[in-house]
Amino acid sequence: MTTLKLPKRFAFCVPYGSDVHPTIESLKGARVLVTGASTGIGEQLAYHYARLGAQLVITARRGNVLEQVVSKCLEIGAQRALFIPADMASPSDAESVVQYAIEKLGGLDYLVLNHIGPSPYRMWDGDVEHTRWLLEVNFLSYVQMTQKALPALEKSNGSIVVVSSLLGKMCGPFALPYAATKFALNGFFGGLQHELAMQKSNVSITICILGLIDTDSAMEKIKGYINMTAYPAHEAAWHIIEAGASRQPETFYPWYTFYACLFRDWFPYLRDQAIQNSYTYNPQVNK
Ligand code: NDP
């Protein structure tokens, strides 16, 4: 297959990640903390890192499921794999997970923030408490873990990888509290990228903008609301790892998410019509 290569001077007009040669070998022995690793994309992240020979700490709430993921990670090549159950709705849990990983691994090279709390997929019902709780799980815990991990990451020239969503860049119906937490992540970590660069920090932040991925939880949610292609979780996870390893500031998977963001504000009326028409809304069924 021939690939079209643009001269370096045109790099500014190429989406992040289209011509990057990841330093995947550097992940052998890397000390990695992955959150939300009991299922879905987080579980796939753990398996890829394991195959690459990383040293892993994984976390989520269900210890029994994490235990199985850890066994598989060790089978397929992880140098080390440990788990710590934690509920990210609790600020003290978020902190102690980072502390545990740094202690057990003797430092940290990658903080991969991926977990999300369950949130209903439906018209917003006015539940403010749920929105507050979800902000704690999906956003504030990311901030807290970052604050706790930054000194260790500074020492190791490490990286923070933030798993976000197209719904953190473009508004859509039925997932308002979730989308709010993703917009918050993009705002916070996008700003932190500037501050770290201005301070000449050697810590990189990669923000991953994902479209629909075929995890059980996502497939279950969208059933009956929208019919669109879901991309494989193991591919999404690989893309995230490559982007993190090559220290890209922002990455998009699958391909259409880049163009959706690029053209987002060009024709707002048409965009909003297209978004609304792509969903099924039947007030009797989709309450
Ligand atoms: P899943 O729902 O499959 O997995 C969520 C993970 O978070 C699980 O490991 C779950 O484990 C853990 N978790 C849930 N609640 C808590 C909590 N309170 N404290 C700690 N851990 C918790 O999610 P996906 O794999 O689908 O998504 C992964 C990431 O990708 C998310 O950031 C999501 O926003 C993003 N993304 C996904 C898309 C998709 O279509 N799938 C699209 C765009 C972005 P446990 O229950 O054991 O706690």
CB of 88 sitting under 6 A from ligand 1: yes
Work out whether strand 55-60 and strand 159-165 pair parallel, antiparallel, or are unpaired.
unpaired
Write down the catalytic residue from 16, 121, 142, 178.
178
Residue 178 designated active-site:
yes
Sequence spans of domains, the chain: 24-277
Tokens of 80: 């080390």
pLDDT the model gives residue 1: 32
Tell me how far CA of residue 84 lies from CA of 35, 110, 122, 236, 259, in angstroms: 10, 16, 32, 24, 38
* Closest C-alpha to ligand 1, atom 8: 36
- How many percent of the chain have pLDDT more than 90? 87
Share of the chain above pLDDT 70, in %: 91
Residue from 41, 139, 219, 251 whose mutation best tests the ligand 1 pocket (most atoms within 8 A of CB): 41
Q: Does domain 24-277 have CATH number 3.40.50.720?
A: yes
Q: Are 206 and 160 in contact (CB under 8 A)?
A: yes
Q: Between 11 and 29, where is the model more confident? A: 29
Whether the CB-CB separation of 30 and 55 falls below 8 Å is answered with: yes
Would the CB of 286 count as within 6 Å of ligand 1? no
Please determine, for the modelled complex, whether the ipTM score is greater than 0.85.
Answer: yes
